[in-house]
């Protein structure tokens, strides 16, 4: 018992040592307590609280080092026993130990793969994915991902026979709905590793399981999970080579425009669509008609009775903005008939719904090109004319009458609205009419050049970027030679020269006088 207590105290100290453990300290610890001693202790029942979790944490830190990982091949029998243990904590440790073995070996070395296969570890990992709790399933999934780095493992993970019990498609077919989502998640993880692995996933027909799962279930939670997995796939750099984007967009379109789906499923599909179509590369692959259909579906959702809550409206506005952040996307949301951007512009200057206005202002900033290169902010003539007309029409129907009045109104609101306003003006000023409207209100220039108006760093920087964009546009315009604009130019130049944060003349120390506290 004394030896067990001593092991526990040392293991606790080792496990909770702040910072990474060095190779020398690991060797010193294992010289005092060899691995067989720790393994035997794990199988011993004790009354010491936290005994098992402490030893497990200790071993995790040991095996994460190169020295610790180099010892793993000597204890494959123990590892097998750990994988078959009743304790979920020990199973998780065993999975992580296999990962450590794989991660500390060169991908061209086939011996780790041989150890995993010859010791029957791979089928156990698959079993954990479909039958164990979330922690063990996650550890097993990460281990298989580590295994997939090795070319020698391709035939193991992607067997040629679809009837093979370890084929992921076969595994998904005989699993519960929750387990199938776990298998699909594993497929997405494998897909993300490299183009070679993604190609193997594609050839095995595993990507088709995502669409089949979406169409074959009415379980809302499963549908939401698969939507997220679809987005993870599309985030992968090499996804355009292997994923049929057109069918994915058609699927999203059917969810958003369909009447059978729950509103929050539609909401998630809208959000994913916006993020997906925010990249120009998508438009090089997907048919324009398909993208237009999706934009129309999102546009229609803003007027749909089951999507009229605030969150749904804000998500739809954000999605239109995300789509409009690319040059082709901006053209589509502005030039469509009717333009989807009309909702964005009308909401951007509507003070009656704070959250909706905030979402719309950020969306308008994206559409106007705030995140695009300055040379790409102006899009095609038809879209540009649509943007100008939408803003002037909204202004004419408001009490402000002019866009400059709308812009000033935005900058006179709360800090978060102003921040979105700065982003919008920084993009709109690239248009001659936008610059003219901004310069026509001295109050706008006073706000964007005032280094004391914002207190948060992000807002200070947004104000400064807006000021700098106005100054650059001013210098390249005919207004620079107008004597009536001389003071405006000087004010902008001084504000740009002073930087984004509070200027020096406002930085004097302010003495504080406090009464002494009595006893």
d(CA 431, CA 389) in angstroms, rounded, equals: 13
Backbone angles phi, psi at 154, to 5 degrees: -60, -45
Q: Say which residues have a Cβ less than 8 Å from residue 180's Cβ, sequence separation at least 6.
A: 172, 209, 213, 222
Instruction: Please state whether 10 falls in left (phi above 0), alpha (psi between -120 and 50) or beta.
Output: alpha
Under 8 Å between Cβ of 316 and 302: yes
- Which of these CATH numbers, 1.10.443.10, 1.25.10.10, 3.30.70.20, 2.40.30.30, describes 1-157? 1.25.10.10
Is residue 85 exposed (0-12), middle (13-18) or buried (19+ Cβ within 10 Å)?
middle
Instruction: Please state whether 401 falls in left (phi above 0), alpha (psi between -120 and 50) or beta.
Output: left
Burial per residue of 269-292, b for 16 or more beta-carbon CB atoms within 10 angstroms, e otherwise: bbbbbbebbbbeebbeebeeebbb
Q: Give pLDDT tens digits along the chain (519 positions).
A: 457 788 888 888 888 877 777 888 888 888 888 888 888 887 777 778 878 888 888 888 888 888 888 888 888 888 888 888 888 888 898 899 999 888 888 777 778 888 888 888 899 999 999 888 889 999 999 999 999 988 888 989 998 887 888 899 888 888 888 888 999 999 999 999 999 998 898 888 888 888 888 887 778 888 888 888 888 887 787 877 777 667 777 888 888 877 777 777 888 888 888 777 776 666 666 667 777 787 787 777 777 766 666 777 788 888 888 888 888 888 888 987 888 888 899 888 888 888 889 999 999 999 999 988 888 889 889 999 999 999 999 999 888 889 999 999 999 999 899 999 999 999 999 999 999 999 988 999 999 898 888 888 899 899 989 999 999 998 888 888 888 888 888 888 888 888 888 655 544 444 555 555 543
The ranges assigned to domains in the chain are 1-157, 399-502
Q: Taking Cα atoms as reference points, which of 111, 20, 3 lies closest to residue 65?
A: 20
Q: Could you tell me how many helices (H) and strands (E) the chain has, helices first?
A: 32, 0
Tracing tokens 């997907």 back to the chain, one arrives at: 286
327-335 helix and 310-323 helix, angle to the nearest 10 degrees: 120
Would you state the structure tokens that stand for residue 507, as one six-digit string? 């930085």
Task: Compute the chain's Rg from CA coordinates.
Answer: 30
What is this structure's pTM? 0.74
């Amino acid at each position: 018992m004394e030896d067990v207590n001593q092991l526990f105290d040392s293991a606790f100290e080792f496990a909770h040592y702040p910072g990474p453990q060095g190779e020398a300290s690991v060797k010193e610890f294992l010289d005092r307590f060899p691995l067989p001693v720790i393994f035997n202790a794990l199988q011993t029942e004790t009354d010491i609280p936290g005994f098992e979790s402490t030893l497990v944490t200790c071993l995790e830190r040991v095996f994460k080092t190169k020295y610790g990982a180099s010892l793993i091949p000597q204890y494959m029998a123990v590892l097998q026993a750990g994988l078959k243990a009743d304790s979920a904590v020990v199973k998780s440790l065993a999975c992580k130990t296999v990962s450590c073995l794989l991660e500390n070996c060169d991908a061209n070395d086939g011996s780790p793969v041989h150890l995993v296969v010859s010791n029957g570890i791979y089928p156990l990992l698959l079993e954990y994915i479909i039958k164990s709790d979330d922690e063990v399933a996650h550890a097993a999934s990460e281990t298989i991902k580590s295994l997939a780095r090795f070319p020698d493992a391709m035939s193991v993970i992607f067997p040629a026979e679809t009837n093979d019990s370890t084929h992921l498609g076969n595994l998904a077919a005989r699993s519960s709905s929750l387990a199938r989502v776990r298998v699909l998640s594993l497929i997405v993880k494998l897909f993300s590793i490299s183009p070679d692995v993604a190609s193997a996933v594609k050839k095995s027909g595993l990507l088709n399981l995502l669409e089949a799962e979406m169409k074959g279930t009415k379980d809302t939670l499963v549908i939401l999970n698969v939507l997220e997995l679809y987005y993870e796939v599309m985030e992968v750099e090499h996804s355009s080579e292997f994923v049929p984007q057109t069918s994915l967009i058609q699927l999203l379109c059917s969810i958003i425009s369909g009447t059978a789906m729950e509103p929050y499923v539609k909401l998630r599909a809208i959000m994913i669509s916006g993020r997906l179509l925010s990249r120009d590369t998508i438009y090089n692959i997907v048919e324009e008609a398909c993208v237009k259909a999706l934009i129309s579906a999102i546009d229609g959702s803003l007027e749909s009775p089951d999507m009229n809550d605030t969150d749904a409206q804000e998500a739809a506005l954000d999605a239109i903005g995300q789509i409009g952040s690319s040059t082709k996307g901006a053209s589509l949301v502005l030039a469509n008939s009717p333009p989807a951007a009309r909702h964005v512009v009308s909401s951007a200057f509507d003070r009656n719904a704070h959250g909706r206005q905030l979402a719309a202002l950020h969306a308008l900033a994206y559409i106007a090109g705030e995140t695009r290169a300055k040379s790409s902010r102006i899009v095609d003539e038809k879209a540009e004319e649509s943007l100008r007309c939408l803003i002037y029409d909204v202004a004419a129907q408001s009490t402000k009458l002019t866009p400059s009045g709308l812009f000033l109104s935005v900058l006179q609101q709360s800090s978060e609205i102003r921040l979105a306003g700065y982003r919008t003006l920084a993009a709109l000023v690239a248009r001659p009419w936008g610059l003219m409207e901004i310069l026509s209100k001295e109050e706008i220039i006073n706000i964007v050049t005032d280094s004391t108006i914002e207190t948060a760093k992000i807002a200070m920087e947004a104000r400064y970027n807006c000021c700098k964009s106005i100054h650059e546009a001013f210098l390249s315009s005919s207004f620079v030679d107008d004597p009536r604009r001389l003071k405006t130019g000087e004010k902008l130049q001084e504000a740009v020269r002073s930087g984004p944060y509070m200027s020096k003349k406002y930085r004097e120390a302010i003495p504080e006088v406090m009464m002494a506290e009595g006893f």
